[in-house]
Amino acid sequence: MAQKQIVILGGSYGGVSTAHNVLKHILPALPESSAYQVVLVSPTKQVMCRPACPRAIIGDDQFDQNKLFVSIPKSFEQYGTSFRFVNGTATALDHTQRIVSVDVAGTTEQINYYALVIATGASTYSPLFGFNRDEAFLRASWKSFREALPAAKSIVIAGGGPTGVETAGELGEHLNGRAGWFSSKLEHPKVAITLVSAGADLLPNLRPAIAHKAETYLAKVGVTVVKNARVKNVAPQGSQAQDGTGHGPGIDDVAAKASLSLDNGSSIEADIYIPAFGTRPNTSFVSDPALLTADRRINTNATTLRVDAAGPRVYAVGDVGSYANPAIHQILAAIPVITANIKRDLLADAGKPLSGEDRQFKEDKRETQMVPVGKSKGVGAAMGYKLPSFMVWLIKGRDYWLWTTGNLWSGKQWAKEG
Ligand SMILES: Cc1cc2nc3c(=O)[nH]c(=O)nc-3n(C[C@H](O)[C@H](O)[C@H](O)COP(=O)(O)OP(=O)(O)OC[C@H]3O[C@@H](n4cnc5c(N)ncnc54)[C@H](O)[C@@H]3O)c2cc1C
């Protein structure tokens, strides 16, 4: 008899963590565990520490590449035939027939799912900051960017959120160095780096006093901040154009010169322009509007993490879901909840219902965000408490969370049932 397929779409924080948990804690608890198989679908064979991108774009010497990128199939060899990796992209979801279509190197594989976890995350506008497609595309965009970097005299980064601030800080320190202890700003930086922010303050998720501190650190690495301004137009036409996939700029655009007009009436010439604002949920394979929210995330029950409109045993986790703000700490908190509720549903369907209630997710809305500004400074808060620069460096700035991902990708983090 064919195995019942528990299909997980997306191989990053949400998908990889859910897969380990299902394999470790759910399948062994089912009456006939060999009747099930976990199928992980991912366009990339590797999982990566995405927060590291603002520093990783500078060069492969910035991080141990064997830690930055880790093989998904290798991390799951431990589970034998209970696991199958499909190197492909979900292209269509038929939730009435319970079939997901997956493009695997140009051919469509139709997978009948018994349970489905949607963890396809979100893409950035710039290809520099994650797997908008696959590893070859990411590597090619980094290569193009790195080749353009030594000759660049002016760089404009749009977006006053953490990605924009971190990228400006990393490039500032790398290209300009850091002002001395007694100087409030770096005079005559080698490369003019401008960070354009739509808001009146940088870092809208942190209180203004912390955001102001980030500005002072940016000034020390030669970054000029322009606030209350949006990039309105990017010329020449074609620069930063859509790449035909709807995923934003292509590889050539990351290194193209651009003339930018801002909505405050000014204009800036950039040897390199980096759009570092906003993300778009990867849900183009979902056509039924009932499954989507207005901002095209998966319409997820914020308490149970089920996708109620999609029928039984369908869940969403990670940035693609509407249940919480996109952040890794929210995903790590969601994993024990989704695991417990998948377990309840599968046991119930196998005729062994658990007593008690569904496990409930509750979003932690306290001020939590850490933003390194170069290799030694940073700003942030955790659970509502402001963190000193040293702590931000210690926890995140040293290696952009690489110290945490080894256990996550191998599954060791999930050895105990949450
Ligand atoms: C530059 C940057 C820095 C960040 N820094 C931090 C930080 O310091 N702290 C923090 O908490 N958060 C940070 N974030 C946010 C964090 O990276 C995300 O919350 C996290 O990566 C989300 O994980 P995910 O599993 O939901 O999806 P993603 O990481 O978005 O990954 C989704 C995966 O799904 C795959 N996929 C896409 N479409 C399909 C499809 N159709 N079929 C199958 N697979 C598909 C993609 O290839 C990708 O591998 C940062 C984000 C960026 C961009």
Question: 47 near 72, Cβ under 8 Å?
Answer: yes
- Cβ of 113 closer than 6 Å to ligand 1, yes or no, is no
Ligand 1 atom nearest 329 alpha carbon: 11
Q: What is the pLDDT along the chain (418 residues), one digit of tens a residue?
A: 789 999 999 999 999 999 999 999 999 999 999 999 999 999 999 999 999 999 999 999 999 999 999 999 999 999 999 999 999 999 999 999 999 999 999 999 999 999 999 999 999 999 999 999 899 999 999 999 999 999 999 999 999 999 999 999 999 999 999 998 888 899 999 999 999 999 999 999 999 999 999 999 999 999 999 999 999 988 875 545 444 344 456 666 788 889 999 999 999 999 999 999 989 999 999 999 999 999 999 999 999 999 999 999 999 999 999 999 999 999 999 999 999 999 999 999 999 999 999 999 999 999 999 999 999 999 999 999 999 999 999 999 999 999 999 999 999 999 999 8
The answer to whether the peptide bond before residue 372 is cis (omega within 30 degrees of 0) is no
| 418 ligand 1 Cβ < 6 A | no
* CA 320 to centroid of ligand 1, rounded, Å: 9
Atom 50 in ligand 1: which residue has the minimum CA distance? 51
Q: What pLDDT does 100 receive?
A: 98
10 Å Cβ neighbour count for 362?
Answer: 11
Counting other chains too, the contacts that 92-95 makes at CB distance below 8 Å and 24 or more residues apart are: 92/285, 92/287, 93/285, 93/286, 93/287, 93/288, 93/291, 95/288, 95/291, 95/310, 95/311, 95/314
User: What confidence score (pLDDT) does residue 303 get?
Assistant: 98
Q: Position 372: which residue type?
A: P
Of all protein residues, the one whose alpha carbon is nearest to atom 27 of ligand 1 is: 121
pLDDT score recorded for residue 249: 63
Nearest CA to ligand 1 atom 15: 327
What DSSP state is assigned to residue 292? B
Give the DSSP letter string of 293-348: -TTS-B---TTT-B-GGG-TTEEE-STTBSSS-S-HHHHHHHHHHHHHHHHHHHHH
DSSP state of 3: P
Query: CB of 90 closer than 6 A to ligand 1?
Result: yes
Pocket test for ligand 1, best of 9, 57, 100, 120 (most atoms within 8 A of CB): 120
Count other Cβ atoms within 10 Å, centred on residue 259.
Answer: 14
How many Å separate Cα 14 from the centre of its chain?
A: 10
Smallest Cα–Cα separation from 264: which of 176, 361, 199, 347? 199
Q: Phi first, then psi: what are they for 139, rounded to 5°?
A: -60, -40
Q: Which residue has 């029928």 as its token pair?
A: 311
Give the position, in ligand 1's atom list, of the atom nearest the Cα of 400. 8
Residue 248, pLDDT score: 54
**CA distance readout (Å), 347 to 54, 224, 368:** 43, 57, 36
The tally of CA atoms less than 13 A away on the side-chain side of residue 184 is: 4
328, 332, 395, 408, best to mutate for ligand 1 pocket (most atoms within 8 Å of CB):
328
Instruction: Check residue 382 and give its pLDDT.
Output: 97
**Cα gap 83→352, rounded to integer Å:** 23
- Residue 6: predicted pLDDT: 98
Ligand 1 in contact with 282 (CB < 6 A)? yes
CA of 389 to the centre of ligand 1 (A): 26
In one-letter notation, the amino acid at residue 349 is: D
Which residue lies with its CA nearest to atom 20 of ligand 1? 328
Regarding the beta carbon of 50 and ligand 1, being less than 6 Å apart is answered: yes
Domains and CATH numbers, the chain: 4-125+280-363+402-414 (3.50.50.60), 143-276 (3.50.50.60)
pLDDT at position 246 is 42
**The pLDDT value given to residue 245:** 41
Asked if residue 73 lies in contact with residue 85, where contact means CB atoms within 8 angstroms, the answer is yes
